[in-house]
C-alpha cells in the first residue's frame, strides 16, 4: 500500500483528465486505493501493481462517467487506417507539450477512448503496447485513437475561452476567510453544524462539531498560514497559503454549507498534487500578517 500511495500523483494526472475535473479525479483515486486495499492479496507480484491500479482507476472512472451521463461511452472500434507518426520526433514532442499544457476540463470534450489513449501517451508517456494492454485494444487502434485525439485537442485549444477572471467572494466564504486570517478559532468553530464532516485524503473522516473543531486547533499552532477565496473548475474554494509572503497557494479546501453553517469540509493538504494541473482563479488576496 505504501507503493500504491506513491503512485497517487500519477493516478490523479490520469483520472483528473479522464473525468475532466481535478476534484472528481481525486475521488476516483481514493476509490481506487480503497478497492486496492481490499483486494491487495490478489496481487502476486509487485511488478503487477502499477498496471493493476491503473486498470481499477480506469474502470472506476468509466463507471462514473457513464452513470453521470457526462458523455455516453462510444464503441471502441479497431481502426487501422491511421499512419504511425512515432518516428516524427519533433511533432511528437510538440503534441505531448500541448497535451500537458491543456486545461484538465478540456479533455472531457474528447470521446472517452481517445481521451484515455491521449492521456496515457502524451501526458504519462506510456508505451503504446502497455496502453493497448490496459485498454484491451490493438496497438494499431491505439495509434488511430491517438492521432484523432491529438487533432481534436488542437481544435479544442484553438477555440478555448480565455481564462476566467476573478469573481466576488460569497458572503459565507468571505466570512470564513476573514475569521481564519484573524485567527478567530472560536468564531470558526461557531460556524460548524453539529453534524459537520471533515475529509482529508488518507485520514479517517471526522464527524461532529467537537471533533472537527480540532481541525482549527491544529492550524492554531501553525504560523504564517493564511487564506484567500478562489475558484476551481467553477466551484468556489479556499486557497491555503503556508507562509505570509507566499505568492501561490500550497493547496485548497472547499466547504459545503447548510442554513449558514458549515456541513462539510474537504481539505486537500495531504494531496497537493490536486491543484498542480488545475486552473485556479484567485480572489482577493488581502490578509492579516
**pLDDT for res 164:** 56
Q: What are the tens digits of pLDDT across the range 219-232?
A: 998 889 999 999 99
pTM of the model: 0.74
Distance CA 39, CA 49 (A): 11
Are 123 and 130 in contact by the 8 Å Cβ rule? The answer is no
DSSP assignments along 115-145, one per residue = HHHHIIIIIS---HHHHHHHHT--HHHHHHH
Put the strands of the sheet holding 280-282 in their side by side order. 206-207, 192-200, 261-267, 251-258, 235-241, 226-232, 280-282
Which of 30, 151, 168 has its CA nearest to residue 83? Answer: 151
Strands (E), the chain: 192-200, 206-207, 226-232, 235-241, 251-258, 261-267, 280-282
Q: Are 130 and 136 in contact (CB under 8 A)?
A: no
Number of H helices, E strands in the chain: 11, 7
Q: Which of 124-128, 203-207, 212-216, 260-264 has the highest mean pLDDT?
A: 260-264
Q: What is the pLDDT of residues 166-193, one digit of tens each?
A: 577 899 999 999 999 999 999 999 999 9
Contact predicate 146/260, CB 8 Å: no
- Taking the C-alpha atoms of residue 39 and residue 55, their distance in angstroms, rounded to an integer, is 13
Amino acid at each position: 500500500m505504501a507503493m500504491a500511495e506513491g503512485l497517487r500523483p500519477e493516478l490523479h494526472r490520469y483520472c483528473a483528465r479522464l473525468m475532466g475535473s481535478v476534484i472528481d479525479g481525486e475521488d476516483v483515486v481514493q476509490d481506487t486505493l480503497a478497492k486496492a486495499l481490499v483486494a491487495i492479496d490478489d496481487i502476486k507480484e509487485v511488478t503487477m501493481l502499477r498496471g493493476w491500479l491503473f486498470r481499477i482507476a480506469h474502470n472506476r472512472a468509466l463507471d462514473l462517467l457513464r452513470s453521470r451521463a457526462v458523455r455516453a461511452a462510444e464503441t471502441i472500434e479497431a481502426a487501422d487506417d491511421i499512419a504511425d507518426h512515432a518516428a516524427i520526433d519533433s511533432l511528437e514532442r510538440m503534441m505531448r507539450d500541448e497535451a500537458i499544457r491543456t486545461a484538465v476540463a478540456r479533455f472531457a470534450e474528447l470521446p472517452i477512448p481517445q481521451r484515455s489513449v491521449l492521456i496515457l501517451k502524451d501526458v504519462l508517456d506510456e508505451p503504446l503496447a502497455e496502453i493497448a494492454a490496459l485498454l484491451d485494444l490493438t496497438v494499431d487502434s491505439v495509434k488511430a485513437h491517438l492521432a484523432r485525439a491529438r487533432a481534436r485537442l488542437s481544435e479544442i485549444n484553438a477555440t478555448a475561452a480565455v481564462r476566467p477572471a476573478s469573481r466576488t467572494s460569497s458572503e459565507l466564504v468571505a466570512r470564513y476567510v476573514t475569521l481564519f486570517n484573524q485567527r478567530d478559532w472560536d468564531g470558526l468553530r461557531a460556524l460548524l453544524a453539529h453534524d459537520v464532516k471533515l475529509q482529508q485524503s488518507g485520514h479517517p473522516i471526522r464527524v461532529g462539531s467537537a471533533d472537527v473543531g480540532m481541525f482549527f486547533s491544529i492550524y492554531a499552532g501553525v504560523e504564517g498560514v493564511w487564506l484567500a477565496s478562489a475558484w476551481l473548475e467553477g466551484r468556489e474554494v479556499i486557497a491555503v497559503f503556508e507562509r505570509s509572503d507566499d505568492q501561490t497557494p500550497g493547496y485548497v479546501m472547499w466547504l459545503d454549507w447548510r442554513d449558514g453553517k458549515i456541513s462539510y469540509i474537504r481539505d486537500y493538504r495531504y494531496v497537493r498534487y490536486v491543484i498542480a494541473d488545475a486552473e485556479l482563479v484567485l480572489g482577493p488576496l488581502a490578509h492579516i500578517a
